[in-house]
Structure 1
Amino acid sequence: MSFDLTFECVLDLRCAVAESPVYDERRNCLFFVDVGQGTLHRADLSGADHIEWSLEGGACSLGLARSGRLVLAQRDRVVLFDPGSGAIVRKIAEIEPERPHTRLNDGKVGPDGAFWVGTMHEVAVDRRPIASLYRVTPAGAVECKVENIVCSNGLAWSADGTVLFHSDSRGPWIDRWRFDPATGELSGRKRLADLDEGRGRPDGAATDADGNYWSAGVSAGVINCFSPEGRLIKAHLFPVPAPTMPCFAGPDRRTLFVTSLRPTDTAKESPAGSIFAARSPVAGAAVHRFDDRRLLTSRTLF
């Protein structure tokens, strides 16, 4: 699979830390967050009809729900957000509220209908492996799945739902697990890749229909495409220094959208922190939805 991607800026927002792009096939739009500003965003795939919500408690990552709402990770909690009303309608769970030096980070809905989200140690001068990866059910049950992480990231599942990819941006490594899509059980942990600053510390990620793993090499300005066995197929050069997460979008899931962050020393004219897109020769894996059907008639608990 030797090809080059041609990225174009489709939404020149210049976010502090744009992250967690998710394609909503029902609305044919993209949702994403700006972690640095605590905002949630929606835009058409062309970049038009942009909407921004500023949220008390922040916005770290998100997933789609069956009801049409969004499951949203804030600093220390997971909530349901209604794009129609622009409001948080329910708190689902709290995670590590007693830890002032951690916050929620990368999160995605798995094939099991649960929201998977990890934490990160925020203290730059003392990054210890005190973070974890959690599984959050629609009923609010929280299960710790992986421990001893500095910055949990890179969640993505194979198209058939039987493999989970996960990374530690400060490890920096990428692992793969056997995944039971019925129960969310993990087994058979295997190291996919060990990385460094030059090759690209692994940030957010996505998978394609062929089982390949696309990782944002945030420190190297590349999108690294790995085979399911960990072979680096291609390091695609990105137009700004720090891509943060790719996702496949569009009715054919063949447009790769990538968020980025804006370093403090960025030149004024640079579009760093914006949203970019490129056509891909391979389709992405389908997006899963949080199974919130039982919550539709329950009272708001927020």
Structure 2
Amino acid sequence: MSNPEAAFVVAERFGAAESPTWDAATGELFWCDIPAGTIHSLVIESGQRKRWSFGEPVASFGLADSGRLVVALSSSIVFFNLETGKRELIATIRLPAGVSRLNDGKVGPDGAFYVGSMDRSATTPQGALYRVDESGRTDILTSGFSASNGLAWTGDGQTMFHSDSQGEMFVDRWDFCPQSGAISNRRRLRAHDLANGRADGGAFDTASVYWSAAPSCSRLNCIALDGTLLRWVELPISKPAMPCFGGADMCTVYVTSLDSGLSGTGKDGIVSFRSAVPGLLPYIFGRRSAK
């Protein structure tokens, strides 16, 4: 298989550019820079850029109705109005001592926001995966992670992938109930596969292939539902962080990056390439999927 040609969409260094999210209604690509505490948007057709600052780390976010985002900050979940800048608290998460902040998060098929946390300091890590609904109810689904990451769901909403991008560095598969958000039947698919890169952010395409960013190998790994590594895509960015699908046909893959730490330019930013198989539209907070 030939490697698709990736082009820079944004040639810029970020501390940790994460949560790429495609808004089909506006033709915008959104992403955050975690340590800078900012969310960015780019209208692909016009090139118009916007930036919003939060004054603390922005861990992740998702789309919500009425021109809003659901945003995970250090330890709280808020609504954010893109037009007015107004914030509305949804939930405060009481993180255990030693847990530094929230991390990767996405809206799930049931319309709730799923977000993990990070604990890189402990011998027995206490990072967890939380489910937060529109009313602010917060439930811990599972725990024991150094850096909860890699959330993504298959098109039928019945399978969830989740990873730990530090510590044990694994990818797990869970059965998921798209009505209740309950997870069950955990299976370990990949672990300690440093030869193919540690698993960071991920996304599913419509063929139920999981695209997993591997920042230690400068590529995206394409993983089957049984954990088999099918292929990979080599990228010009040094440390790819997370992919998402977008474009009018959902066949454009956008990939954000971590800070390469390298001098000069050309290894940092956001790149895109074309996929033969489309990806899935992001879910909307508070809106249950019809599937």
What TM-score range do you get, normalising by the shorter chain?
over 0.9
**Structure 2 letter corresponding to 1:146:** T
Counterpart of 1:296 in structure 2 is: none
Letter in 2 for 1:67: S
Secondary structure class of the residue paired with 1:203:
coil
Shift, 1:48, TM fit:
1.1
Match of 1:90 in 2: 88
Partner of 1:6: 5
- Name the TM-score, length of structure 2 as normaliser: 0.94
Aligned twin of 2:259: 262
- 1:179 equivalent to 2:164? Answer no
Residues 211 and 145 of structure 1: is their aligned pair in 2 closer, same or farther, counting only changes over 3 Å?
Answer: same
Aligned pairs for 1:55-94 (under 5 A) are 55-85=54-84, 87-94=85-92
Tell me which moved more, 157-166 or 2-11: 2-11
Contact 2:37 2:56 in 1 (8 A): yes
Cα offset for 1:121? 1.5
Matched residue, 2:20: 21
Q: Which residue of 2 aligns with 1:222?
A: 219
- TM-score using structure 1 length: 0.91
Q: 2:185 and 2:30 mapped to 1: Cα distance? A: 33
1:278 equivalent to 2:277? Answer: no
Shifted more, 111-120 versus 31-40: the winner is: 31-40
Residue 131 of structure 2 aligns with which residue? 135
Name 1:299's counterpart in structure 2.
none
Confirm or deny: 8 A CA contact 1:117 1:133 kept in the other structure. Answer: yes
Moved more, 113-122 or 100-109: 100-109
The residue matched to 2:200 in structure 1 has which SS? strand
Q: Report the Cα distance in structure 2 between the residues aligned to 1:28 and 1:162, rounded to whole angstroms.
A: 28
- Report the number of matched residues: 287
Residue in structure 2 matched with residue 160 of structure 1 by the alignment: 156
Aligned to 1:113: 111
Cα distance, 1:232 vs. partner? 0.5
* 5+ long unaligned stretches in structure 1: 294-302
Tell me by how many angstroms 1:197 deviates: 3.0
Aligned equivalent of 1:297 = none
Q: 1:57 to 1:269 in 2, by over 3 A?
A: closer
CA distance in 2, matches of 1:254, 1:55: 31
Q: Distance in 2 between matches of 1:176 and 1:282?
A: 22
> Secondary structure, in 3 states, of the residue corresponding to 1:202?
coil
- The answer to whether the 8 Å contact 1:10/1:46 transfers is no
Which letter maps to 1:227?
Answer: A
Conserved? CA contact 1:195–1:202, under 8 Å = no
- The answer to whether the 8 Å contact 1:192/1:230 transfers is yes
Aligned 8 A contact 2:237 2:271 in 1: no
Q: How far off is 1:192 after superposition?
A: 1.8
Return the offset for 1:270: 3.0
Distance of aligned partners of 1:27 and 1:211 in 2 relative to their CA distance in 1, 3 Å threshold: same
User: Are residues 31 and 127 of structure 1, via their aligned partners in 2, closer, same or farther at CA, if it must alter by over 3 Å?
Assistant: farther
> Aligned pair 1:41/2:43, yes or no?
no
Letter in 1 for 2:76: R
Q: 2:110–2:287: 8 Å Cα contact kept in structure 1?
A: no
Contact 2:99 2:117 survives alignment (8 Å): no
**Structure 1 residues 222 and 156 mapped into 2: Cα distance closer, same or farther (>3 Å)?**
same
Structure 2: 5+ residue runs without aligned partners? none
1:213 aligns with 2:210: yes
1:121–1:127 Cα contact (<8 Å) kept = no
Q: Identity, % of aligned pairs?
A: 39
* TM alignment of 1:223-242, pairs within 5 A: 223-242=220-239
> Root-mean-square deviation (CA), in Å?
1.7
Equivalent residue for 1:245, pick from 242, 247, 251:
242
Q: Distance in 2 between matches of 1:288 and 1:110?
A: 6
Distance of aligned partners of 1:27 and 1:66 in 2 relative to their CA distance in 1, 3 Å threshold: same
Residue equivalent to 1:202: 199
Distance in 1 of aligned mates of 2:67 and 2:190: 36
Q: CA–CA distance in 1 between the matches of 2:164 and 2:277? A: 26
Q: Secondary structure at the match of 2:94?
A: coil
1:17-62 per-residue CA deviation (whole Å, 9 max, x = no partner) reads: 1000000111110111001211110102258111111112321111
Q: Which deviates more from structure 2 when the two are superposed, residues 63-72 or residues 99-108?
A: 99-108
